Chain A
Amino acid sequence: MDALFVLAAVLLIYGLKLMGKAATARKGNVLSGAGMLLAVATTLWIFPPKNTWVLVSVVTFGSLIGIWTAAYVKMTAMPELVALFNGFGGLASLLVGMVEGLKLMDTSDNGVGSNSVFTKVAIVSAIVIGGITFTGSLVAYGKLSRKLPGGSIVFPFQMYVCCGLGCWLYWWLYGWVTSESFVDLSSLSAIVILSLVAGVLFTLHIGGGDMPVVIALLNSLSGVAACAAGLISLNKVLIVAGCLVGTSGLILTLIMCKAMNRSIGKVLLGGFKASGTKAQSKSFGEPKTMSAEDAYFPLEAARTVAIVPGYGLAVAQAQHAVKELVQKLTENGAEVFYAIHPVAGRMPGHMNVLLAEADVDYDQLTELEAANARFPETDVTIVVGANDVVNPAAVENKNSPLYGMPILEVFKAKTVLVLKRGQGKGFSGLENELFLKDNVRMIYGDAKKTLTQLAAQFKGE
């Protein structure tokens, strides 16, 4: 039976490897799913359930909810869905830890050496990490789905409250792990409640723009929680898969931080030092505007056109409108490519998913470096709802907090059209010097409407 678990682990690992390439990714996901199924089936074989019907109905009900949600969720809502699912995984680990903790208290069933420090540490790890993952993910879900205010939520003495809470939690944990006797219900419930509160405090002060990093980190944590749950009962497949997710989530977090030019420490401290770098907006001029009607002329004459989609495109649900305009431009004889920044959209790689949904040809998508090489020969660049990722301050202004962040150098194109909802700022809260450049024209208004309008003018011919 151990062999079956080994096979399951191999499937999970090999599946994850295949997911690293676009061509094999789908197969990899299926293989990884098969590994999961095998692990579950083997577990049921070793530990046959006492009440099969209850288990079957619980599993069926959960599966149906999962399938239904997965089938009907909008692609733009993907970040909050991942957060929500992730929270459920954390909750499951928390509950497993709790049940094992309760069993330790049951004096009738002891003497199996399970009251060791090792087991206790594993139990509290599953509870604490699972609890933080659960409520932390719920807060992230709330912020991303706008059920909570998206910005950084700060209250007085937050830092002290967090530290105090951490110490208090540690005090309970220390007491529990080191105590000789069986532990009472009150300390178990205190640990559970404090962990849940800690998860809320952990994410509450982090602003919406940093949420993708937080989700990646929480994803990593849910793997660690699963690993801890595995250590309680020394379940090998749980330990291996948990570690795998734990580190892969961590490396994903670091990659994301790099693409956003944020350090992980700054993200986690978030709102605590939000008000440091504000007062540097010097006298800021007026950007030149243009109407959608006038924008037709440069577009009509253009031979090469670049589209730079950003967060605003996702918000306006304008991916289909973009595709329509691109079609018209191509019919007009222009060569069109999409320049995709690694963090465009609402989470890294999200823009690729959105454009794939709109049936955009995969070959038209250009990654950062390749796109930057092409901008100097591009006649018109259309920026749709992107801001910080095209801010030239990242290469020109050493004092800017964005300095050093890899950006799409759209300002090198002959003409740049910026489609923007209003005169607001990007996530970083900084003015964008791009908008003041001589070759840049702003088209304010709903991106979807503007794009449809532009496409319609080509129809008129």
Chain B
Amino acid sequence: METVGVDYGWLAFCMVLAGWLGFELIGKIPSQLHTPLMSGTNAISGITLVGALATLSYATDAVTEVLCYVAIFFAVINVVGGYCVTDRMLKMFKK
């Protein structure tokens, strides 16, 4: 989309910081929460849905359009199912 050159340094900076954040956030978590955590981060990884939606808007022909819809379909299952099942588990923990 963008015609301007990519600022690679800035990009690398963002990635390193975000990655580090992941390390810090998860490092000290008690083992009893590992299963819900795994399913929760799994739901987050469905964020690729955003990429699929963006790609769909400039899909050029029928083939790419269909591929985009398939991607959206599976990403939605990943996201919605992931958040719901995590919530179901954590709900039980509360009691």
B73-95 CB contact bits vs A (8 Å, 1 = yes)?
11111111111111111111111
Q: Are A100 and B55 in contact (CB under 8 A)?
A: yes
Known: A247-B19, A251-B23, A349-B32. A43 touches B53 (CB 8 A): yes
Q: Which residues of B contact A70 (CB under 8 A)?
A: 80-82, 84-85, 88
Which residues of B are interface residues toward A (Cβ below 8 A)? 1-3, 5-6, 8, 11, 14-15, 18-23, 25-61, 63-64, 67-95
Known: A73-B85, A95-B52, A118-B6. A247 touches B40 (CB 8 A): no
Query: A92: which of B31, B44, B49, B82 is its contact (CB, 8 Å)?
Result: B49
In the complex, besides A219-B45, A250-B22, 6 extra interface pairs with C-beta distance below 8 angstroms are A36-B46, A55-B69, A85-B82, A88-B74, A92-B51, A352-B33
Query: Which residues between 223 and 248 of chain A lie within 8 Å of chain B, taking CB atoms?
Result: 223, 225-227, 229-248
Q: Determine the distance from Cα of A197 to Cα of B58 in the docked complex, in whole angstroms.
A: 30
A112 on the interface (CB 8 Å rule)?
Answer: yes
Q: Are A17 and B41 in contact (CB under 8 A)?
A: no
Q: Are B54 and A29 in contact (CB under 8 A)?
A: no
Count of chain A residues with a beta carbon within 8 Å of a chain B beta carbon: 116
Which residues of A are interface residues toward B (Cβ below 8 A)? 12-13, 16-17, 19-22, 25-26, 28-30, 32-33, 36, 39-40, 43-44, 46-50, 54-55, 58-59, 61-63, 65-67, 69-71, 73, 75, 78, 81-82, 85-86, 88-89, 91-93, 95-96, 98-100, 102-103, 106, 108-109, 112-113, 116, 118, 130, 215-216, 219, 222-223, 225-227, 229-252, 255-256, 259, 340, 342-343, 345, 347-350, 352-353, 356-357, 359, 362, 365, 367
Q: Determine the distance from Cα of A226 to Cα of B31 in the docked complex, in whole angstroms.
A: 26
Q: Are B54 and A235 in contact (CB under 8 A)?
A: yes
Q: Determine the distance from Cα of A9 to Cα of B20 in the docked complex, in whole angstroms.
A: 15
In the assembled complex, how far is the CB of residue B14 from the closest CB belonging to chain A, in whole angstroms? 6
Q: Determine the distance from Cα of A59 to Cα of B76 in the docked complex, in whole angstroms.
A: 6
Q: Determine the distance from Cα of A226 to Cα of B43 in the docked complex, in whole angstroms.
A: 12
Q: Are A243 and B75 in contact (CB under 8 A)?
A: no
Known: A85-B82, A118-B6, A219-B45. A353 touches B50 (CB 8 A): no
Q: Determine the distance from Cα of A68 to Cα of B59 in the docked complex, in whole angstroms.
A: 30
Q: Are B85 and A20 in contact (CB under 8 A)?
A: no
Name the CB-closest residue of B to A224: B45
Query: A233: which of B3, B49, B54, B70 is its contact (CB, 8 Å)?
Result: B54
Q: Determine the distance from Cα of A237 to Cα of B80 in the docked complex, in whole angstroms.
A: 18
